[in-house]
Structure 1
Amino acid sequence: MSTGDERVLVQEVEGHLLLTAAREQGRTAAARVADRLGWLTETQRDDLEHHFESEYLALARTSWRRTADRAEELRHLYEDRYRTLRQRMVAWGVLGAALLAATGLLGSPPAERGAPCAGAPDVSGFQVSQGSQVSQGIQV
């Protein structure tokens, strides 16, 4: 027996037990009402109990159906809300990762002094003297 078959069987047993309990509650309530009406004949009493039980079961079924419908409606609402929140969290996660990557690239320390930058000309031999003239190791 598969898991799906087991689930269906359990649901059928639960439904049967629920229906049996509701039927018993209906009979008990019908007997209480019929006891208050002491002037009924036995046939009238049985007829009243039968109708009362039928109405009780109809009301119970209507109530169960409304509850099941509402549960289904709430399930859809919660699934939609969860989906929206999950999408929002993924978007914030991607944005956070992008920001971390960007700060990692932009926030890297500058090159050490004296170390040439990529593509910069080598100016290590030049000095600036007091007269602001640039020469190559010669004072002017």
Structure 2
Amino acid sequence: MQPDKNDDHGLWRIEGYLMGHAEVERARSQARSFTDQLPWLTTAQREEVERVYVVERTAAAHAMFQRICERAAELRAEYTERYLRLKARCVAVTATGTFLLAGVGTLALRLR
């Protein structure tokens, strides 16, 4: 059974969701650690600081993930282009070598 490209896309979406969820949990944990260092905050202030921290942190993480995805697409395009040029060169060298070898073989047979 051949894997479907849509299956890969679905897996990437699930992975992205899980990474995003983990990042939110990490931000919440760090926000709690941060507010624990500020014992003079009221409960409402603590909750607000934690909320703002999580929002800012997840926005920054989202922007970072977006930049990584864009760079990955750029690299994929760049490497695909390089691969195609290398492949064309290899085919050209192989064809040239084959024709030269055939020419030398033909010339050797005629000179016999």
- TM-score (norm: length of structure 2): 0.89
Aligned pair 1:84/2:85, yes or no? yes
Taking only the aligned residue pairs, the percentage that are identical comes to 34
- Which residues of 2 match residues 16-95 of structure 1 at below 5 A? 16-95=17-96
Aligned to 2:15: 14
> SS of the counterpart of 2:59?
helix
C-alpha distance in 2, partners of 1:49/1:104? 80
Structure 2: tracts of 5 or more residues without a match: none
C-alpha distance in 2, partners of 1:91/1:4? 32
AA of the residue aligned to 2:75? L
1:59-78 C-alpha deviation (Å, 9 max, x unpaired): 11011011111111110110
> SS of the counterpart of 2:109?
coil
Aligned residues: CA RMSD = 1.7
AA of the residue aligned to 1:38? P
Deviation at 1:46, TM superposition (A): 0.1
Deviation at 1:38, TM superposition (A): 1.0
Task: Compare relative contact order (CA 8 Å, sep 6+) and give the higher one, 1 or 2.
Answer: 2
> SS of the counterpart of 1:107?
helix
1:8-31 C-alpha deviation (Å, 9 max, x unpaired): 432332222112111110001101
Aligned to 1:122: none
Deviation at 1:4, TM superposition (A): 4.6
Q: Structure 2 vs 1, CA of residues 11 and 109 (structure 1 numbering), >3 Å: closer, same or farther?
A: closer
AA of the residue aligned to 1:76? A
What is the aligned residue count? 110
* Bigger share in helix: 2
C-alpha distance in 2, partners of 1:59/1:101? 62
